[in-house]
């Protein structure tokens, strides 16, 4: 592994963690480790200190109070899938979490880790952008809450500042809503997204649409939202919206898919996701977790 002498700490208190960070040259936070350990092995990062946050109790918090969901930085995708709070208030988070990697990864990997690694094909990015989530951090300058749209600034680049730790994510409930997460992989199970998409259908047919894996950062499709907001969804409206997808996203060709295929599938996924979100809002539609592709 790295030539740098590596140290490890597992503090029980947040202040202790911040103190260790401030005294280290190149500290890295360890949650599930499913990205970090791999990045260390690949030589992409060379930490001198690993701070394991699993010992800090508040990081395991998953709660829904005053219409706001809080997902602590230590909450794993498996915990999100099993959570009654999530099933009841945000079933799309469970729908999404079930598509992340494989079970053995989901047992360790955290949603916060996913958005801190911020690789363009991450599944959690579009979710947070669509819900206007806040990323809560604490650091030498105190606490901050960063809107998800401002969090992602490039491939593997976030708005985190030196010495900061992400405590968790806060998502305000938009009230009763239908939602749908659609992910395109090469096969079912374990694959990274070629395109992913989340659609929220709120009351009065207000929509939130966000795409992932088709640009360096998650795309909030505001032109599409403006077009369809307040309207009854018809085939011709969907056709019109699909034309806008070409203006909203900028997929590339890579090892997993061509840009043409991604663009083509983004439109199909949008149509199916939109129909599912609307029918779920109205109490019908496919059950959460059903693959629409």
Partner 1 sequence: MMYKEINFILNGENVNLQVSPDEILLEVLREKLGVKSPKCGCNKGDCGTCTVILNGKTVRSCLVLAIEVDNQEIVTLEGLMGNGLTPLQESFLKNNSFQCGFCAPGIILSATELLGRNSKPEKKEIQEAIAGNLCRCSGYSPIIDAIIDLTN
Q: Which residues bind partner 1 (CB under 8 A)?
A: 1-2, 5-8, 10, 30, 33-34, 37-38, 40-41, 50, 52, 54, 78, 98, 101-105, 107-108, 188-190
Nearer to partner 1, 77 or 151 (CB): 77
Nearer to partner 1, 41 or 203 (CB): 41
Least spacing, CB of residue 83 vs partner 1, in Å: 15
Least spacing, CB of residue 272 vs partner 1, in Å: 19
Least spacing, CB of residue 146 vs partner 1, in Å: 28
For the chain, report the end-to-end CA distance as a whole number of angstroms: 41
Least spacing, CB of residue 213 vs partner 1, in Å: 18
Nearer to partner 1, 121 or 130 (CB): 121
Nearer to partner 1, 48 or 132 (CB): 48
Nearer to partner 1, 41 or 162 (CB): 41
Cα–Cα distance list, 53 to 32, 75, 217 (Å): 9, 11, 26
Backbone angles phi, psi at 53, to 5 degrees: -90, 5
Least spacing, CB of residue 36 vs partner 1, in Å: 9
């Amino acid at each position: 592994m790295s030539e740098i002498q590596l140290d490890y700490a597992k503090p029980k208190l947040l202040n202790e963690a911040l103190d260790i960070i401030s005294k280290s040259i190149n500290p890295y936070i360890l949650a599930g480790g499913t990205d970090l350990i791999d990045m260390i092995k690949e030589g992409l990062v060379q930490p001198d200190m690993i701070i394991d946050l699993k010992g800090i109790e508040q990081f395991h918090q998953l709660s829904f109070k005053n219409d706001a969901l809080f997902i602590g930085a230590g909450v794993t995708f498996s915990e999100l899938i099993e959570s009654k709070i999530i099933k009841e208030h945000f079933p799309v988070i469970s729908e999404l979490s079930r598509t992340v990697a494989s079970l053995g990864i989901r047992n360790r990997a955290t949603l916060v880790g996913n958005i801190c690694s911020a690789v363009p094909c991450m599944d959690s990015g579009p979710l947070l952008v669509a819900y206007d989530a806040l990323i809560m951090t604490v650091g030498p300058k105190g606490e901050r809450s960063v809107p998800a749209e401002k969090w992602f600034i490039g491939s593997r680049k976030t708005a985190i500042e030196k010495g900061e730790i992400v405590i968790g994510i806060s998502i305000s409930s938009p009230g009763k809503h239908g939602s749908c997460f659609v992910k395109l992989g090469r096969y079912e199970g374990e694959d990274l997204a070629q395109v992913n998409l989340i659609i929220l259908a709120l009351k009065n047919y207000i929509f939130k649409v966000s795409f992932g894996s088709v640009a360096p950062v998650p795309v909030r499709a505001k032109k599409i939202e403006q077009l369809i907001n307040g309207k009854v969804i018809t085939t011709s409206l969907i056709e019109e919206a699909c034309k806008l997808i070409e203006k909203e996203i900028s997929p590339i060709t890579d090892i997993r898919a061509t840009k043409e295929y991604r663009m083509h599938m983004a439109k199909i996924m949008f149509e199916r996701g939109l129909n599912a979100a609307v029918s779920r809002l109205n109490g019908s539609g496919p059950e959460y977790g059903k693959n629409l592709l």
